[in-house]
Amino acid sequence: MHLSDKPSSGTLDREQIRQAPKVLLHDHLDGGLRPATIVELARDAGYQGLPTSDPARLGAWFRDAADSGSLERYLETFAHTCAVMQTREALHRVAAEAAEDLAADGVVYAEIRYAPEQHLEGGLGLEQVIEAVNDGFREGERRAAAAGRTIRVGTLLTAMRHADRSREIAELAVAYRDSGVVGFDIAGAEAGNPPGRHADAFDHLRAAGSHVTIHAGEAVGLPSIQEAVQRCGAHRLGHGVRITEDITVAADGSVTLGRLASYIRDQRIALEVCPTSNLQTGAAASYAEHPIDLLRRLKFRVCVNTDNRLVSGTTMTQEFGHLADTFGYGLDDMEWFTVNAMKSAFLPFDERLALIHQVIRPGYAQLRTQGLSRLPAAWAATGTAATAAVPA
Ligand SMILES: O=c1[nH]cnc2c1ncn2[C@@H]1O[C@H](CO)[C@@H](O)[C@H]1O
Ligand SMILES: [Zn+2]
């Protein structure tokens, strides 16, 4: 097998990227708060632990503190966001704002995850947490619609991999599957907490026919991915980028996939790639060396995600912007990643198709037409040369 020579499809400016319909499958509710909201919620809750109460500095603090090269250190920053998400009102507000912010960034469908077990300190029960978040998303969808933007949001219930509530959370993911919850995830420190520890939860989900994604292949390589897919039944992988350890590219461009990499590609298991987060945790060294382009050229079911908009200081527009700057991606590439994401969304098949054919494809087609009227001057001159040659 050889790497495809298909060149990337061109250049993109940030406004085009923002306008293009985008699909987000991997975004943590507690990693994406507005800094100003954290400051206000901390004041209301009497939480004294924030490093600063200046929103701009707080945003920068998260990004810097998470830029450590270690997943464990990256995760320490969530103590501050979780501390202010302990009441129904706070959860509702954070969810509503997340939907508004994503819609403003051009996201048309999002699956947002969070761990209900991390929001019980104010006395809420797990169900109350789930309902507050779901209500918040419905409110955010309404506000986005009022602002002229359509977004649909589903939630993924995360269980923390070092803890022991995964079976309970899995049961809730099944119980709420017709009420706003679209699937289940495990997150937290990957090293030392293999997914197989939660076999009981995954058995329940499998028996119920529920959707599963697992953070794997971020801080640990192939054994974690193998266990997530083969033993725990993951339909998608959070990150999954270390699957490249099972891919060999020779100097002449010939490529060999190991058995696990082949399985993941053959089964169309989605890799929810989060480039900036990967740079912060050390899962990739730079945008240029990020494996997403290799995975794209090998036609893995790969998609682009934010992971944590606050902690990674990013948005979907910025993630695509970095990739466009680095790999020369154009609208065709963006559309390909977006359709990939939508194909692997945890929605019924007919609803995925409807979003692809009624929202995503027409959105890109429209941007292409607009692009024609915004050709650089040199192109426009060539384009009119034939007409200009005809004597007036
Ligand atoms: O990239 C990641 N890898 C592993 N765990 C993560 C990542 N981002 C966030 N969380 C963890 O997921 C919890 C629930 O949303 C967060 O509190 C954080 O601890
Ligand atoms: Zn994540």
pLDDT, tens digit, for every residue of 40-83? 999 999 999 999 999 999 999 999 999 989 999 999 999 999 99
* C-alpha 26 – ligand 2 centre gap (Å): 6
CATH code for position 28 = 3.20.20.140
Say if the ipTM goes beyond 0.90. Answer: yes
Any domain includes 5:
no
**Global pTM value:** 0.94
pLDDT in tens, 235-272: 999 999 999 999 999 999 999 999 999 999 999 999 99
Pocket of ligand 1 (CB under 6 A): 28, 30-31, 71, 75, 78, 113-115, 118, 158, 187-188, 215, 218, 277, 307-308
As a whole number of angstroms, the distance between CA 132 and CA 112 comes to 14
Which atom from ligand 1 is nearest to the alpha carbon of 75?
Answer: 19
Pocket test of ligand 1: the residue of 26, 27, 28 to mutate, having most ligand atoms within 8 Å of its CB, is: 28
pLDDT value of position 389: 36
Any domain includes 305:
yes
- Lookup: tokens for 49: 């632990």
User: In which band, very low, low, confident or very high, does the pLDDT at 374 lie, cut at 50, 70 and 90?
Assistant: low
- For the cut 50, the answer to whether the pLDDT of residue 350 exceeds it is yes
Any domain includes 387:
no
Residue nearest ligand 1's atom 1 by CA: 307
Any domain includes 381:
no
Catalogue the long-range contacts made by 120-124 (C-beta closer than 8 Å, 24 or more residues apart). Answer: 120/86, 121/86, 122/45, 122/86, 122/87, 124/86, 124/87, 124/88, 124/91
Give which of 135, 154, 136 is closest to 23, Cα–Cα.
154
pLDDT value of position 385: 36
DSSP track, 118-178: GG-TTS--HHHHHHHHHHHHHHHHHHHHHTT---EEEEEEEEETTSS-HHHHHHHHHHTTT
As a whole number of angstroms, the distance between CA 361 and CA 338 comes to 10
pLDDT value of position 372: 60
Q: Residue 30, annotated ligand binder? A: yes
Which atom from ligand 1 is nearest to the alpha carbon of 218?
Answer: 3
Any domain includes 383:
no
pLDDT value of position 190: 94
- Read off φ and ψ for residue 204, nearest 5 degrees: -60, -45
Cα dihedral sign, 153-62-191-290: positive
* Structural domain count of the chain: 1
Contact 341, 270 (CB under 8 A): yes
The number of the ligand nearest the C-alpha atom of 311 reads 1
Any domain includes 175:
yes
Q: Which residues contact 370 (CB under 8 A, 6 or more apart)?
A: none
As a whole number of angstroms, the distance between CA 185 and CA 261 comes to 21
Any domain includes 264:
yes
pLDDT value of position 10: 76
Domain range for 297 is 14-372
Any domain includes 1:
no
